[in-house]
Amino acid sequence: MPDLDQAVSELLAAHDPSTTAPADFLGARFDAGLAWVHFLQGRGGLGAPRGEQERVDERLAAAGAPEPDRGRNSIGLGMAAPTLIAFGTEEQQQRYLRPLFTSEEIWCQLFSEPGAGSDLAAVATRAVPDGDGWVVDGQKVWTSGAHNASRAILVARTDTSVPKHAGLTYFVVDMSDPGVEVRPLRQVTGEAEFNEVFLTGVRVPDSDRIGAVGEGWKVATTTLNNERVAIGAGSEREAGQIGLVTQTWREQPEVRTPGAHEQLMRLWVECEVTRYAGERLRQQLEVGQPGPESSAMKLAFAQQAQEITGFALELQPEAGLGYDDWTMVRSAAADFLGRGPGFRYLRAKGNSIEGGTSEIMRNVVAERVLGLPPEHRPDKGIPFKDVPR
């Protein structure tokens, strides 16, 4: 196993975090193989066990080193990078991983469509072969961070003569293409972190196809499983929403009642169960890609976030549901946990929709984790072009 302690010491000695620009430090960290230690050498890693990443992160944080921009580039870091490692060519990994890690290139995810959100395999956006590339036309929706993105991962239909799951292909899209139009969507919170994205004659070179033609569903499943781990993840006790509620409980004794105490204890225990289940899932990641169990994690997270934010508002009813920021386009430094109870309550409503609805998560858990009989699907085995829409 590589000597990670020595690698960290050498990085810090050569690039003092207090005097090195954040992007330069992160680039040097990537080159040193300390971005994702379990990735291969030359791709930001050293081929070390995945579990060693936490130790490296702790040493770098203690030295005051800058962190990757996990707020603005959550899609790139949490979903595009592991997908590129699993299915990308060596050239694609060499081209995209370093600027992704330094956040010099922000990524978004062009998956959901107006007619294919809960059923992602029903996407109708077309990619048609043209010379040494593809031409893409269609519309995507609920695209987080598209207004900041320079790259996107895309699922598009390349064959309508086969059943829906078999006719998809996965691409990387340059968001600066003149055929890409991004329109913000205002949410109930008053801000716009999501967007509609219109794709008109967008050209994608075949060298930016990830995986084989027609195997886009297989690639997308890897992205989605990583997304659900990222959404449901939380490694520290009382992290996230439950931490804010317990802080209010401890600091404001006037909010305490016997009924609220019982409710808080139930929520706290459920969060702990989810946290330990998440830790087991992360350990499974050390030996492979996340499996369908990540759907149970995402489902539990959504339910708990909505219950806890509702409980927080009950403890502080004077906070109300008023907006504290009417910024149309979501700020790059937006922080869910840094906002008031009203904002958090409203924003949590989206947790059971984004990243796959809770209904879809229940289907995945029932069929792929518990092995229960699948629900009836009238479009199963039918060519996509013949499915009534």
Catalytic residues: 227
Furthest-apart CA atoms within the chain: distance in Å: 70
**Helix (H/G/I), strand (E/B), else coil: 40:** coil
Residue 269 amino acid letter: V
Enter the tokens of residue 371.
Answer: 């092995």
CB-based contacts of 255: which residues, under 8 Å, 6+ apart?
248, 249, 315, 316
The beta strand positions in the chain, using DSSP E, are 107-110, 126-130, 133-140, 151-157, 168-174, 180-185, 194-205, 209-210
Backbone angles phi, psi at 305, to 5 degrees: -60, -40
Residue in the block written with tokens 């499915």: 387
CB-based contacts of 125: which residues, under 8 Å, 6+ apart?
110, 113, 136, 137, 138, 139, 140, 154, 155, 156, 157, 199
Closest CA to 261 of 272, 245, 274: 245
Distance CA 194, CA 63 (A): 35
Distance CA 312, CA 241 (A): 9
Do the bridges between strand 107-110 and strand 151-157 make them parallel or antiparallel, or are there none, so unpaired? Answer: parallel
Backbone angles phi, psi at 110, to 5 degrees: -95, 75
Distance CA 242, CA 342 (A): 15
Distance CA 136, CA 228 (A): 27
**Helix (H/G/I), strand (E/B), else coil: 154:** strand
Q: Which helix (H) or strand (E) holds 106?
A: none
Distance CA 233, CA 298 (A): 8
Answer whether 86's CB lies under 8 Å from 79's CB: no
What residues form DSSP beta bridges with 181? 198
